[in-house]
Structure 1
Amino acid sequence: MPSTQHVTGRDLARTLRARFPDLLIVIPTAPTDDIDVIAGLDAGTDDYLVKPFSLTVLLARLCAHLRRQTSTSQPQPPLRFGDLVIDITSRRCTLHDTEIALRPKGFDLLALLTRNPGIAISRETLMAPVWDENWFGPPRPWTSPWPASADVSPRPPPHIATLRGRGYRLERCGWSDGAGTKS
C-alpha cells in the first residue's frame, strides 16, 4: 500500500498563502491551546473559529474579513526605503535587488514600518492592522527579517530599532540617504 503524506492545516495554509496571497483563509478548529492558534495565524491564516460556532458567526466574520480585503484590494505603488522595496500588490520584499522570503505577518509588519520610516510606532499601533481585534495571544518577538548575507551587501539593511516601552522604528543604518548624509 503506498504511503500517504500527512498534511496539517498549517501546512495547507502556508501553501495556499504562498500561491494565493489575497485568499481569505479561515480555519474552523476544535478548542486548542493558544500556541496552536498562534502557529496557525503565523502560517498565514486570517482567522480561527473554535468549534462549536454558529453559521451566523461564521458568516459575520467572513463578511468582516471581506470588507477589509475589498477596501485594500486596489494596486498600490511599491514602498521604498533605500534599497528596501516592499511591493504590497505582489507581496514581495526585496533588499539590494534580492527577494527576501517573509512570513505573512512579518511582511505586514515590515510594510507598516516601511510606510512610516523613522517614526516610532507603538506596539499596539503596529499590531492592530496586522492582528485583528479577536487576537488574544502575545505577538511573537520581533526579529530581523534580513538574511545574514544582507550584512555583506554594499550597504547594511535598514535597522528595526526596538524602543523600550515605546515600540519600534525603521531606520537607516550607516548609509547615505541619497543627499550625501550618513545616518
Structure 2
Amino acid sequence: MRILLVEDDAGTAADIARALSAAGHLVSHVADGKQGLMEAIGGGFEVLVVDRMLPGLDGLGLVRALRAAGVATPALMLTARASLGDRVEGLDAGADDYLPKPFALPELLARVNALGRRPAAMAQEATVLRVADLEMDLLRRTVTRAGQRIDLQPREWRLLEYLLRHAGRVVTRSMLLEGVWDIHFDPRTSVVETHVSRLRAKLGEPHLIQTLRGAGYTIRPPDP
C-alpha cells in the first residue's frame, strides 16, 4: 500500500517508516501538517498515519480539513494524549483509528493493514444506503433527505452509516461505541446520546432514528 506518514519527530518517523517499508508498503513522509494536508489531498495514498501534535497544522485540523474536502482516505492518528476525551476528540475530527504513544510497531502495522482493507471491503457492498427519503451516497460522500443535502460532521457521518447498515435492526449503545467510536468498553459518558440527538435534529422530521428504551436505537421509515 501507499502510505503517507505525517510525523514531526525524526526518530519516531524513521522507526515507523522502516517498519512499514519492511512490511512491503511504500511510505512517503512529511514533517509538517500543512504539507501533509497538501500531499493527502493530492491523492494516491491508501492509508494516512498522522501525528496529533504537528507544526503548521495539527493532526486534528489536518483530518478535519481532509473530511471537509471530501477526502475519505482512512487515517490512523498517533498521539501521546491518551485520555478517553482526547480519543473521542480525535475520532470526532474524522480519524478512523487512534493509537496512543508509546506503541508497539507490530500493533501499528496491524492497525494500518486493517485500515487498508476497508476500501476493498466497501467496494463489495452497496454504495448508496437508503431509508425512506433519506439517502447516503458513500462514493460522493453526500447525505440527502427528500433531495435536500444535509451536512454532517465526520462522527455524525459514521454514526448514520452504522445505523443505515443496520436499518430495521436494534443496535445497542455498546454496539455504537464499538462500531462508531472504536471504544470497547462503556465509559458511562453521554457521547452516544449527544450525537444521536444532533443527528436526529439534522435529519429533521418525521424522525427516522427511534430510541427503544432499555434496548438501543434503530433507523426505520416513520410509522404511517
Indicate whether the TM-score tops 0.5: yes
Aligned equivalent of 2:117 = 67
Secondary structure at the aligned position of 1:48 is classed as strand
Aligned equivalent of 2:17 = none
Q: Aligned pair 1:158/2:207, yes or no?
A: yes
Q: Aligned pair 1:36/2:86, yes or no?
A: yes
Residue type at the aligned position of 1:145: L
Q: Aligned pair 1:168/2:222, yes or no?
A: no
Q: 1:28 Cα deviation (Å)?
A: 1.2
Aligned equivalent of 2:155 = 105
**Kept in 1: contact 2:131–2:167 (CA 8 A):** yes
Secondary structure at the aligned position of 1:61 is classed as helix
Aligned equivalent of 1:90 = 140
Change beyond 3 A, Cα 1:135–1:23? farther
Identity %: 35
Q: Distance in 1 between matches of 2:63 and 2:76?
A: 9
**Kept in 2: contact 1:146–1:157 (CA 8 A):** no
Q: 1:86 Cα deviation (Å)?
A: 1.1
Change beyond 3 A, Cα 1:135–1:62? farther
Secondary structure at the aligned position of 1:165 is classed as coil
Aligned equivalent of 2:199 = 145
**Structure 2 segments unaligned to the other structure (5+ residues):** 1-54
Higher helix share: 2
What's the Cα RMSD here?
Answer: 2.8
Q: Distance in 1 between matches of 2:124 and 2:68?
A: 20
**Kept in 1: contact 2:176–2:192 (CA 8 A):** no
Q: 1:99 Cα deviation (Å)?
A: 1.0
Deviations 1:130-174 (A, max 9, x none): 3336677554322142557x65xxxx343311112201022334x
Deviations 1:36-78 (A, max 9, x none): 1101101100112211223322112101221233211347342
After alignment, is 121-130 or 100-109 more displaced?
Answer: 121-130
Scaled by the length of structure 2, the TM-score of the pair is: 0.62
Secondary structure at the aligned position of 2:180 is classed as coil
**Kept in 2: contact 1:42–1:105 (CA 8 A):** yes
Scaled by the length of structure 1, the TM-score of the pair is: 0.74
